[in-house]
């Protein structure tokens, strides 16, 4: 019995010293914990539910990420499948064994697979074990795990130090008797790494969690075989590179010794390592070595309680560091001279307020736009996105993106700008180059959708001018007006072309509807009644450029002027007005579209106004109010649905022209109980210029009291549809209301909105109010048409000035419209992302690719072709004629191109006179050949804009100068291919998931223990 006991004890001692039995059995078991990447969605995978590193790298969020992306046009094309053994293992709550990444982050590649952007966190790290100074390794092992790298024990299990574990267990028993007893910890480096990476909250809450850490660390240690020395060396490396060291204001979380030294002490990581790797020195060099060692040891100690030691416990940290330096010297790991040098240096922390630990510089605008788009798709922040273990394949062409960015950046240099032909009348002057900013977008139309190849601007701000701005882009709005005009002509053709001459004569046409009258007359007389011929005839209609007429629009009387006075006496065709970008013909064309829309809406209230004695008037009006009121209410409902209170109110107010009367009318309706001080604060935030005087404020407060106006009158004063105003007010009070509840609650308001128009006895006042409301409704219909073609905002200013750009636009939205025209009327989705791969070479690897899109027809083919031809004439002989012949292909032929120019001079107008300048813009939206289109914008924002007189000739000249740079990418089959990704599995992998539990020996399959199964 005694002999058996002694033998058993010897075996246990031997196993504790060598771990040979563990090594053999655990290695055999770990070899079965395989996983393989397969095509399609996995039927055998478990994602982690917790753990700081699993959360930061995105592994815990992968099911949600995949769900969101699949709902937004992506397909899950690859995912890992666990072996049955690994499924059981992870199902027991253990952490899957694989070689984990110590540094990871987002990679963005371009359409050729070349890296555009690479983020790695932690920022600073040791590349390999050999790069770590010996004194750093010795200090870490002395403090945490002294026998870890013993070469005489090749099969040692690094997860368990039995002597240390026993001391810790006895210590915990002692604490049951004396709660104040300082019990030693039993964690090894291996279990500590498991804890702060994978345990909930990065802590050990109980004995069960400790056992899970030990078991997981043991299996991980033997995943590559029985011998563990290489694994143990990697544990030291991984710990140094990933140990959590709290979080710093303005920086975020801090992990790893390298980042810890830089963030907390402002120490250069490379210099610290060079000092500690060098032989012992003298004088100031020795003092520097001592300071470096002191900082390293301090961070090794701080890991135990980083939030305390690195904040309020810094004095305690300094004392503990001193004690450990003496112990290191006593153990012979450092010499007395280095010890004294380290003890003689104070532990100085970085002043994070005066000297913040800023993250690396932001990437270029193109990659920022791509990252922002992915962050929105995943519902995460850019900070968190960069720290995900993810690879993003963008549609951008990196080489062209950089070349264009560099080119635009050099335009602030006087000599370069002069060499590019940008200095001159209506262009630039050398003294004013610095404030001009530029944005450029180039999109390629592909079989699977529109793919952005270049997106850049020269601002140093994160704002994306192409897609995040609202700019008055001037005459580019004429392109939208022209598109609406030709669409209406096509609709009239579809309705009237089947009629013969006699039937056409019987068509009832309102006297105000000139467009329908023209369509009837054209079809009655035309020899060729086809749609293309009718569209060409529509472009040949003439509209006066005379600026002498006064226009009642937007609730008031306005006059408009032409850019060139020499155009004032002309009566050009629509085609000619587009080429020369003449204002007044388009104002008159827009008026025709508004009148047509007013009188063509079924049940239009405009028709009810013609006979005031009609006895059916009240009945018609009641039915019209109920039916049409619901139509407009539904449109407003879609606009504000799911918007928060502040967002809804802001959207409503953004659609108003700023003015204290209009704003006060809306504010007092939405906030009837608010005191005068609240109105004053509201107006100060919304109205440019000096705030209203106390007397004016009191007048506004009293004039717009809730009882002062009924809903229709208040809508008229505010120049907003009363039902829109009512709906926003209702939703502010009832944020959870359904549309059915809104309809029921608005019954009286819908009647009132239309009945009030007929109560006044003064016909001129009645007519002006009626017309204002009809114009608002007409612009709602026109907005619906514009939105279908990509207009980015929720409303149009209900004024003929919208034809000249007063409703604003975005360069990116104009590019989308040009893409519709270039693609014969089919709207394709615009892509900036082709593929996303998460957690590559891990058990959680998941890849998604964008689905090919067939597109949506939003414009007749004939309309798109007519527009494209008209835009080509703008280049051939119009405002963009300097581009004519600028893009010649290698075979000598000219690339087909066209576009529309626009100049915006946005100023605050006070009493009819332009005041403070807000911005000046010049834009050219274009197509280049059959597959490429985009926009180029020059702009100045702020009061400096008043100094600039450049016009749209500037972006046209810039595009011409960029021709040699762009042309190689526009040539058919020229340049590196940028193709959409295949949705099928990559060659050599299984084409479809197999039965659950089956892991095929497919070529290229990565296993848990790092081998490739073939």
CB atoms within 10 A of CB 115: 11
Between these two residues, 294 and 753, which has the higher pLDDT value? 294
Determine the Cα–Cα distance for residues 261 and 125; give it in Å rounded to an integer: 11
pLDDT at position 193 is 95
Flag the least confident range among 30-44, 144-158, 597-611. Answer: 597-611
DSSP state of 423: B
pLDDT at position 511 is 83
Which two structure tokens, joined as six digits, stand for 40?
């399609």
Which tens digits make up the pLDDT trace of 489-498? 999 999 999 9
Torsion sign over Cα 736, 739, 744, 747: positive
pLDDT above 50 for 910: no
Angle between helices 336-343 and 283-302 (to 10 degrees): 70
Which two structure tokens, joined as six digits, stand for 637?
């409902």
pLDDT at position 463 is 62
Determine the Cα–Cα distance for residues 470 and 458; give it in Å rounded to an integer: 17
Which tens digits make up the pLDDT trace of 752-778? 877 655 565 555 665 666 677 778 888
The CA–CA distances, whole Å, from 508 to 530, 591, 617, 628 equal 22, 21, 20, 22
Q: Exposed, middle or buried by CB within 10 Å (0-12, 13-18, 19+), for 138?
A: middle
Between these two residues, 518 and 732, which has the higher pLDDT value? 518
pLDDT at position 376 is 93
Give the mean model confidence (pLDDT) for residues 228-247: 95
Question: Are residues 34 and 86 in contact, defined by beta-carbon separation less than 8 angstroms?
Answer: yes
Flag the least confident range among 362-366, 561-565, 634-638. Answer: 362-366
Between these two residues, 217 and 653, which has the higher pLDDT value? 217
Question: Are residues 464 and 490 in contact, defined by beta-carbon separation less than 8 angstroms?
Answer: no
pLDDT above 80 for 944: no
* H or E segment to which residue 476 belongs: none
Torsion sign over Cα 359, 365, 370, 372: positive
Flag the least confident range among 132-141, 304-313, 515-524, 709-718. Answer: 709-718
Strands 437-446 and 932-941: antiparallel
pLDDT at position 361 is 63
pLDDT at position 1008 is 38
Q: Exposed, middle or buried by CB within 10 Å (0-12, 13-18, 19+), for 123?
A: buried
User: Between the ranges 302-316, 417-431, 942-956, 968-982, where is the mean pLDDT highest?
Assistant: 302-316
pLDDT at position 763 is 56
State percent of the chain over pLDDT 70: 85
DSSP state of 691: P
pLDDT at position 988 is 36
pLDDT above 60 for 170: no
Q: Using pLDDT thresholds of 50, 70 and 90, give the confidence band for residue 594.
A: very high
State the distance between the two ends of the chain, measured CA to CA, in whole angstroms.
52
Q: Using pLDDT thresholds of 50, 70 and 90, give the confidence band for residue 1001.
A: very low
Which tens digits make up the pLDDT trace of 369-394? 899 899 999 999 999 999 999 999 99
Q: What is this structure's pTM?
A: 0.79
Residue 132 has phi, psi (to 5 degrees) of: -85, 125
Give the mean model confidence (pLDDT) for residues 541-554: 92
pLDDT at position 995 is 30
pLDDT at position 167 is 55
Task: Mark residue 1010 as left, alpha or beta (left: phi above 0; alpha: psi -120 to 50; beta: remaining).
Answer: left
pLDDT at position 16 is 62
Query: How wide is the angle at C-alpha 332 spanned by C-alphas 326 and 337, nearest 5°?
Result: 60
Give the mean model confidence (pLDDT) for residues 824-828: 95
pLDDT above 80 for 235: yes
Strands 115-118 and 913-928: unpaired
The CA–CA distances, whole Å, from 879 to 321, 354, 897, 979 equal 74, 53, 14, 35
Between these two residues, 13 and 737, which has the higher pLDDT value? 737
DSSP state of 799: S
* H or E segment to which residue 440 belongs: strand 437-446
The CA–CA distances, whole Å, from 770 to 496, 553, 753, 766 equal 30, 12, 11, 6
pLDDT at position 991 is 33
pLDDT above 60 for 544: yes
Give the mean model confidence (pLDDT) for residues 189-200: 94
Question: Are residues 237 and 129 in contact, defined by beta-carbon separation less than 8 angstroms?
Answer: yes
Q: Using pLDDT thresholds of 50, 70 and 90, give the confidence band for residue 746.
A: confident
Flag the least confident range among 369-383, 591-605, 853-867. Answer: 591-605
What is the helix, strand, coil percentage profile of the chain, to 5? 50, 15, 35
Q: Using pLDDT thresholds of 50, 70 and 90, give the confidence band for residue 996.
A: very low
Determine the Cα–Cα distance for residues 369 and 466; give it in Å rounded to an integer: 10
* H or E segment to which residue 668 belongs: helix 660-670
Q: Using pLDDT thresholds of 50, 70 and 90, give the confidence band for residue 622.
A: low
DSSP 312-370: TTHHHHHHHHHHHHHHHHHTTSS-HHHHHHHHTS--PPP-TTTS--PPPPP--HHHHHH
Contacts of 796 (CB under 8 A, 6+ apart): 779, 782, 783, 786, 802, 807
DSSP 508-575: ---TT-HHHHHHHHHHHH-S--SHHHHHHHHHT-B----TT--EEETTEEE----SSGGGTT---BHH
Torsion angle in degrees (nearest 10) through CA of 1004, 1006, 1009, 1014: -30
pLDDT at position 98 is 94
Quick check: bond before 167 cis, omega within 30?
no
Determine the Cα–Cα distance for residues 512 and 606; give it in Å rounded to an integer: 10
pLDDT at position 297 is 96
Give the mean model confidence (pLDDT) for residues 58-79: 96
Determine the Cα–Cα distance for residues 875 and 884; give it in Å rounded to an integer: 6
Torsion sign over Cα 646, 650, 651, 656: positive
Residue 1012, helix vs strand vs coil: strand
Give the mean model confidence (pLDDT) for residues 1000-1007: 35
pLDDT above 50 for 781: yes
Q: Using pLDDT thresholds of 50, 70 and 90, give the confidence band for residue 1000.
A: very low
Flag the least confident range among 153-157, 642-646, 914-918. Answer: 914-918
Give the mean model confidence (pLDDT) for residues 104-131: 94
How much is the mean pLDDT over the chain? 85
Q: Using pLDDT thresholds of 50, 70 and 90, give the confidence band for residue 626.
A: confident
pLDDT at position 756 is 59
pLDDT above 90 for 713: no
pLDDT at position 860 is 97
Between these two residues, 333 and 467, which has the higher pLDDT value? 333
Give the mean model confidence (pLDDT) for residues 607-627: 58
Task: Mark residue 280 as left, alpha or beta (left: phi above 0; alpha: psi -120 to 50; beta: remaining).
Answer: beta
């Amino acid at each position: 019995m005694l002999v058996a006991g002694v033998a058993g004890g010897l075996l246990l001692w031997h196993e504790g010293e060598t771990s040979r039995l563990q090594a053999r059995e655990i290695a055999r078991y770990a070899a079965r914990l395989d996983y393989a990447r397969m095509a399609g969605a996995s039927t055998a995978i478990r994602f982690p539910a917790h753990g700081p590193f699993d959360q930061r790298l995105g592994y815990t969020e992968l099911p949600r990420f995949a769900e969101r992306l699949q709902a937004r046009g992506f397909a899950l094309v690859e995912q890992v499948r666990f072996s049955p053994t690994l499924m059981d293992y992870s199902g027991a709550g253990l952490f899957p064994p694989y070689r984990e990444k110590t540094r990871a982050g987002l990679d963005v590649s371009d359409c050729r697979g070349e890296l555009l952007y690479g983020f790695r966190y932690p920022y600073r790290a040791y590349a390999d074990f050999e790069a770590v100074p010996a004194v750093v390794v010795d200090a870490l092992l002395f403090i945490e795990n002294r026998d870890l790298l013993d070469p005489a024990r090749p099969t040692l299990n690094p997860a368990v130090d039995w002597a240390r574990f026993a001391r810790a267990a006895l210590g915990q028993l002692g604490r049951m008797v004396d709660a104040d007893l300082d019990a030693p910890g039993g964690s090894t480096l291996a279990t500590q790494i498991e804890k702060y990476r994978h345990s909930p909250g990065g802590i050990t809450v109980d004995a069960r969690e400790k056992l899970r850490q030990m078991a997981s660390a043991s299996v991980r240690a033997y995943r590559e075989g029985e011998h563990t020395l290489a694994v143990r060396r990697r544990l030291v490396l991984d710990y140094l590179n990933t140990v959590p060291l709290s979080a710093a204001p303005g920086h975020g979380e801090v992990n790893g010794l390298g980042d810890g030294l830089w963030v907390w002490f402002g120490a250069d990581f490379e210099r610290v390592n060079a000092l500690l790797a060098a032989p012992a020195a003298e004088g100031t060099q020795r003092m520097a070595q001592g300071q470096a060692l002191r900082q390293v040891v301090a961070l090794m100690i701080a890991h135990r309680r980083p939030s305390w030691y690195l904040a309020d416990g810094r004095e305690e940290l300094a004392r503990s560091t001193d004690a450990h330096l003496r112990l290191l010297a006593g153990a012979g790991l450092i010499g007395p001279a280095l010890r004294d040098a380290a003890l003689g240096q104070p532990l100085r922390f970085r002043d994070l307020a005066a000297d913040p630990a800023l993250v690396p510089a932001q990437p270029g605008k193109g990659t920022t736009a791509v990252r922002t788009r992915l962050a929105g798709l995943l519902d995460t922040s850019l900070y968190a996105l960069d720290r995900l273990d993810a690879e993003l394949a963008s549609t951008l062409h990196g080489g062209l993106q950089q070349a264009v960015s560099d080119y635009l950046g050099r335009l602030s240099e006087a000599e370069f700008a002069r060499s590019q032909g940008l200095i001159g009348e209506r262009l630039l002057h050398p003294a004013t180059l610095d404030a001009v900013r530029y944005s450029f977008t180039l999109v390629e139309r592909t079989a699977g959708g529109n793919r952005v190849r270049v997106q850049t601007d020269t601002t140093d701000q994160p704002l994306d001018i192409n897609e995040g701005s609202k700019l008055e882009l001037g005459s580019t709005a004429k392109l939208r007006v022209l598109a609406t005009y030709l669409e209406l002509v096509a609709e009239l053709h579809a309705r009237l072309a089947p009629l013969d001459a006699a039937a056409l004569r019987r068509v009832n046409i309102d006297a105000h509807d000139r467009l329908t009258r023209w369509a009837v007359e054209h079809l009655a007389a035309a020899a060729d009644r086809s749609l293309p011929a009718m569209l060409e005839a529509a472009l040949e209609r003439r509209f006066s450029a005379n600026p002498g007429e006064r226009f009642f629009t937007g609730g008031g009387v306005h006059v408009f002027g032409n850019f060139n006075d020499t155009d004032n006496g002309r009566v050009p065709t629509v085609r000619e007005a587009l080429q020369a970008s003449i204002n007044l013909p388009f104002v008159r064309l827009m008026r025709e579209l508004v009148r047509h829309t007013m009188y063509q809406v079924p049940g239009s209230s405009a028709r009810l106004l013609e006979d005031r004695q009609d006895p059916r008037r009240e009945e018609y009006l009641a039915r019209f109010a109920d039916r049409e009121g619901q139509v407009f209410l539904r449109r407003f409902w879609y606009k504000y649905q799911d918007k928060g209170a502040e967002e809804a109110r802001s959207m409503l107010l953004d659609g108003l022209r700023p003015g204290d009367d209009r704003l006060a009318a809306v504010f007092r309706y939405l906030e009837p109980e608010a005191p005068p001080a609240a109105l004053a604060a509201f107006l100060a935030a919304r109205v440019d210029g000096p705030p209203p005087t106390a007397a004016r404020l009191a007048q506004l407060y009293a004039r717009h009291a809730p009882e002062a106006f009924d809903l229709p009158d208040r809508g008229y004063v505010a120049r907003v549809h009363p039902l829109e105003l009512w709906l926003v007010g209702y939703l502010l009070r009832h944020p959870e209301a359904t549309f059915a509840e809104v309809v029921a609650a608005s019954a009286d308001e819908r009647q009132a909105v239309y009945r009030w128009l007929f109560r006044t006895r003064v016909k001129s006042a009645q007519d002006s109010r009626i017309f204002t409301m009809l114009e608002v409704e007409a612009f709602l219909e026109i907005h619906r048409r514009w939105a279908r073609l990509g207009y980015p905002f929720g409303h149009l200013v209900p004024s003929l000035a919208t034809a000249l750009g007063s409703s604003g636009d975005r360069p990116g939205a104009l590019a989308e419209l040009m893409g519709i025209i270039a693609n014969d009327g089919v709207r394709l989705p615009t892509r900036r992302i082709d593929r996303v791969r998460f957690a590559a070479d891990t058990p959680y690897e998941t890849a998604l690719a964008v689905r090919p899109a067939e597109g949506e027809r939003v414009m007749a083919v004939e309309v798109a072709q007519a527009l494209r031809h008209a835009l080509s004439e703008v280049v051939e002989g119009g405002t963009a004629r300097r581009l004519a012949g600028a893009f010649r292909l290698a075979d000598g032929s000219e690339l087909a191109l066209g576009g529309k120019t626009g100049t915006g001079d946005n100023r605050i107008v006070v009493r009819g006179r332009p005041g403070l300048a807000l911005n000046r813009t010049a834009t050219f939206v274009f197509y280049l050949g059959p597959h490429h289109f985009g926009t180029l914008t020059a702009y100045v924002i702020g009061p400096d804009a008043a100094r600039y007189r450049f016009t749209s000739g500037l972006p046209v000249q810039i595009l011409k100068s960029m021709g040699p740079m762009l042309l190689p990418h526009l040539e058919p089959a020229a340049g590196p291919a940028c193709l959409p990704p295949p949705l099928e599995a990559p060659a050599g992998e299984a084409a479809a998931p197999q039965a659950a539990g089956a892991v095929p020996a497919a070529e290229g399959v990565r296993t848990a223990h790092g081998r490739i199964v073939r």
